[in-house]
Structure 1
C-alpha cells in the first residue's frame, strides 16, 4: 500500500489538516439520513455559485413515478438549439442531490455553453439496483424526446456524471448502442466503474482520503446487495466485454483515489475498441476533487477542462487522444 501522504497535493494536505479537527464518523456508524446531510454539508467547499445561468426545476416521468430534475441554460443568447448534457450526481448511490451538485452543473453549463439537465435518481438502500440505472435511462430518454422544448439539439446530447453517477452515465451510454436514443458523448468524473472492486488502486489507496475501500464496499453493499448482480455490465461497465460502438468519452480522474484505475482501465479499453477518448488524471488529487473547487485549485481547473472537452466532443471539433496525460 502506498503512503498517500507522500503523493498528495499540498492543498489537499492543508484541507485534511483543517477537517481533522472535526472528524466524521464512518457511513455505517450513522443513520442514512445523517450520512446524506453530511454530504450536503460538503457543498460549503465547492466554491462560489455562478448566478448567470437560467435555472428551472423540472419533473421527469419514469417507469416508477417521477424524478426531480433541474435544467440549466447558458446566460448568453446562442443558436436556437444547443448541445445538452444529462447529468447524474455522485454520492455512492446513497447520497447526493440536485443541490449538492448545483455549483458543478452551473459551471458545466456556463463554461461549456451547454444546456444541462441534472437528475435526482432514486437512492439506495431504499431503492436497490437497478433502480438508479433505470432512472438514469428513463431520464435520458425523456430529455431526448423533449429536446426541442428544452432547447437542445437531439443529435448532440451527452450523458455525464461523477463517481457513482459516472457508472450510471457509462451504463446509459453503453445501453444506447442497442436500444437508443443516441448518446453523442459520455463524460465521466472520477468514475467508479467496477462494483467487484478489482482495480489495484482499491488496495493502493484503501485509506482514501475522502473515499476509502471500506466506504466504497459499504456503498456497493447498499445499492447492489446481491454479489451476482455486481458482475452485470451495467452495474460494472468496466466488465463489459465489448465496448465497440460506445460514444466517445471525456474521462477526468484523480491519482490518489481507490477508483483511479477504473478510469485508466476504462479509457484504455475504449481506445482499444476504437472509441475516441480524452483522458486526464490529476496528480495528487483525491476522489471527487472537482466538488472541492472552493479549496482545491485543480478542482476548478478540472471542471473547466471537463466542460470544454465535452462541449468540443458534442460539436464534433475536438481531436481524440488515447491518453492526454497528467496535470
Structure 2
C-alpha cells in the first residue's frame, strides 16, 4: 500500500521522484547531470575555477574551487562532497547552494567530482575525496585557503564520504578537520532502524533504493575498512564539532539521529536540525523559503553563531 505524507507545500514538487530502483537509469541520468553542470553557476559575488587533480590510484578527478570574487586574505576552507547514492553525479543546485553557504560564511569551498560506483566501488570515491583534502592542504596558498582550518561536508552519500574523510584525516594525518556538516547523511550499512522499515515508498529516497545503494557501493567488499563506510559502531574519538540535518519522511532519518546521539555521548558538540514535513533531497528545491532557512543555519554553523535550539 502506498502511504501518503504531509509534505511541505514547497517540497511537493519532489513527490514525482518516487522509484523502487534506478540502476537502469543510471547511465543516462549521469550523462544528463554532467551536461547540466556546464550551466552551473555560483551566486553573485562568487566565482568558479576548475582543476584536474590526481585521485585514488592516480586517476584524474575534477574539483571546482568556489571562491569569493573579492578577497585579499586567506579564507577558511570547506571540502564538499555531493550526494547521489555513490552512483550519480552532482547537479547545478549543489553548486548554487554551496556557493551561497560560502558567500554567507566567508569560506572558500572545493566541490569534488569523485569516481562513482559500481565501476569505482568502495573505497574509490572515499579515497578520491581524501585525495582532494590532501590537495587542498598542499595548494592552500594558491586556493586562498587556510590549510589549518578546513571543514568537511556533504549531503546524503556525500555526508557519508565527509565522515569517512574526517576519520581518515584523523587516522592517517593525525589531524582534526575544523567542522563537519551533514545533510540527511548515509550512516549505517546494516539498515536496521525504524525509518528504514517504514519508509519504503517515500519520494526521492526510500529503503528499497537504500538497499540497492549499499549492495552496489560494497559490491567488491569492504577491504577491512567498514569503519570508514558505516559509522554507528566506528571509533569516533576526537570527532569535530558537527552539524546534522535530517528529513522527517526519509528512511535515513533515524540513523542520522542515532549518529548525533553517538557523537554527543562522546562529548562532541552537535547542532541538530530535524526538519518536519520534509523528504530526502530537499536541497534540490533551492529557491524555496524552506531551503533559505537551511542555508542560513548551515552558514551560521560555519560562522560559529548557530543557536543550539531549532528555530
TM-score by length of 2: 0.88
CA 1:320–1:111: 2 relative to 1, 3 Å: closer
Distance in 1, matches of 2:178 and 2:102, equals 17
Alpha-carbon distance, 1:237 to partner: 1.9
CA 1:177–1:2: 2 relative to 1, 3 Å: farther
Residue 299 in 1 paired to residue 264 in 2?
no
| Pairing partner for 2:62 from 68, 93, 113 | 68
Q: Secondary structure at the match of 1:243?
A: coil
Matching residue of 1:86: 79
Kept after mapping to 2: 8 A contact 1:201/1:261: yes
Kept after mapping to 2: 8 A contact 1:231/1:239: no
Matching residue of 2:218: 224
Residue 199 in 1 paired to residue 198 in 2?
no
Alpha-carbon distance, 1:85 to partner: 0.3
Matching residue of 1:315: none
Matching residue of 2:22: 27
Q: Deviations over 1:281-302 (max 9, x none)?
A: 11011002122223x4212321
Distance in 1, matches of 2:36 and 2:14, equals 13
Alpha-carbon distance, 1:81 to partner: 0.8
Matching residue of 2:142: 149
Residue 135 in 1 paired to residue 128 in 2?
yes
Q: Secondary structure at the match of 1:218?
A: helix
Matching residue of 1:310: 302
Alpha-carbon distance, 1:52 to partner: 2.2
Query: Greater CA deviation, 194-203 or 161-170?
Result: 194-203
Distance in 2, matches of 1:157 and 1:237, equals 21
Residue 238 in 1 paired to residue 232 in 2?
yes
After superposition, residues 147-186 of structure 1 pair within 5 angstroms as: 147-180=140-173, 181-186=175-180
Distance in 2, matches of 1:217 and 1:8, equals 24
Matching residue of 1:11: 10
How many matched pairs? 307
Unaligned runs of 5+ in 1: 313-317
